[in-house]
Every structure is written in structure tokens, then in C-alpha cells.
């Protein structure tokens, strides 16, 4: 009797495993499809976010580049002004030396 009871239990267990196997049939495919769908959505969202970031970065770079033009122009203007001041200073110095030289010559002629 023990043998038949064990055999019935084995059949019941086998039947349960078969039922579970049938329930799980297709589960892997459904799970894979679900995961693939979620991954596709995530990839699309990441691409969209990357595109937005790229556009923002492009705008920032453009604004920075547009700011360099006026800044460089201002630096150039300041250098031109500085050159004029230096040139005027040297010219004034040269005039003073010329005048000084003329005075010395006049003083020496009087001696």
C-alpha cells in the first residue's frame, strides 16, 4: 500500500508540475516583451533628454561666443587708447628734449 500511495503522490506532484509548467509557458516571453517595452520607452526618453540638453548647450555656447565679440572689441579699443597715450607721452617727451636741447645750445652760445 505504501508503494501505491507513493505512486499517487508522485503522479499528483507530476501533475502539479505540469500545471505550473503550463502556467509558466509564455511567461518568459511576456516578461521579455514587457522588459523590452520598458527599455524602449526609457531609451526614447533618454534620447529626448539628451537632445534637449544638446540644444541648451548649443544655445549656451552661442551666447558665450556672441559675448566674446564685444569683449574683444572693448579690449582692442582700450589697447588703441593706451597706444595713443603712450605715443602722446613719447611725443611730449621728445618735444621737451628738443626744447631743452635748444636752450642748452643758446646758453652755450652766450658764453
Provide the number of structural domains found in the chain: 1
- For 4, other C-beta atoms within 10 Å of its C-beta total 8
pTM above 0.85, yes or no: no
> In a structure prediction context, what are the per-residue pLDDT tens digits for the chain, which is 111 residues long?
455 677 777 888 888 888 888 888 878 888 889 999 999 999 999 999 999 999 999 999 998 888 888 889 999 999 999 999 988 888 888 888 888 888 888 878 877
Enclosing domain of residue 60: 2-110
Dist CA 47 CA 80 (whole Å):
49
Q: What angle do CA 31, 37, 39 make, to 5 degrees?
A: 100
Dist CA 44 CA 81 (whole Å):
56
DSSP string, 29-56: HHHHHHHHHHHHHHHHHHHHHHHHHHHH
Amino acid at each position: 500500500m505504501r508503494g501505491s500511495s507513493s505512486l499517487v503522490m508522485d503522479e499528483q506532484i507530476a501533475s502539479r508540475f505540469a500545471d505550473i509548467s503550463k502556467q509558466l509557458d509564455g511567461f518568459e516571453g511576456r516578461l521579455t516583451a514587457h522588459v523590452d517595452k520598458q527599455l524602449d520607452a526609457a531609451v526614447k526618453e533618454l534620447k529626448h533628454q539628451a537632445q534637449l540638453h544638446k540644444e541648451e548647450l548649443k544655445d549656451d555656447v552661442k551666447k558665450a561666443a556672441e559675448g566674446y565679440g564685444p569683449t574683444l572689441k572693448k579690449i582692442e579699443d582700450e589697447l588703441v587708447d593706451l597706444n595713443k597715450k603712450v605715443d602722446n607721452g613719447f611725443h611730449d617727451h621728445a618735444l621737451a628734449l628738443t626744447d631743452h636741447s635748444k636752450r642748452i645750445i643758446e646758453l652755450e652760445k652766450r658764453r
